[in-house]
Structure formats: C-alpha cells, structure tokens
Amino acid sequence: MSVEISLTLNGEPRRTTAITIADLVRELELEPAKVAVEHNGEIAPRSTLEHVALAHGDVLEIVHFVGGG
C-alpha cells in the first residue's frame, strides 16, 4: 500500500506517493538528469536524487532545463 505525504512544491501544496525526489520528478513527467532541486533549503545534487527520501512537510523547488534554439 502506498502512503501519501503532503509537501510544498514550488510554493504550492502537493500530495504524492513518491518515495524519493527522483520519483517525484518522474511523477511530474520530468527527467531527473535535467532538473535542479532545492530540498528544504539545500541544493540536492542530481547524483543523489534517487536516494533522497521524501517526508511529510518537505519543501522543494524544482527547476527544469528547457533546450531550444
């Protein structure tokens, strides 16, 4: 059974069953290799996104890179 948690994402409340930051990024239909994440006021290196667990009340800012020409 999945446990739903409440967190703040880019200033907005959100509920998710994601376990890690990378899971949340994929839930948002983004590619973990193409985002920058601030987790509770600290930059989360992309190399750690698969391992950083989410918890109730976390505050995240996620910025994704868009290519273009």
In whole angstroms, how large is the CA radius of gyration of the chain?
12
Q: What long-range pairs does 47-50 form, CB within 8 A, spacing at least 24?
A: 48/21, 49/20, 49/21, 49/22, 49/25, 50/20, 50/22
CATH code of 5-64, in short, is 3.10.20.30
Extract the tokens encoding 25. Answer: 């990024």
Q: How far apart are the first and last CA of the chain?
A: 44
pLDDT classification of 65: cutoffs 50, 70, 90 = confident
Over residues 7-44, the pLDDT tens digits come to 999 999 999 999 999 999 999 999 999 999 999 999 99
Q: What is the mean pLDDT of residues 40-56?
A: 96
Q: Whole-structure pTM over 0.85, yes or no?
A: yes
Backbone CA torsion sign across 62, 12, 41, 25: negative
More confident residue, 58 or 68: 58
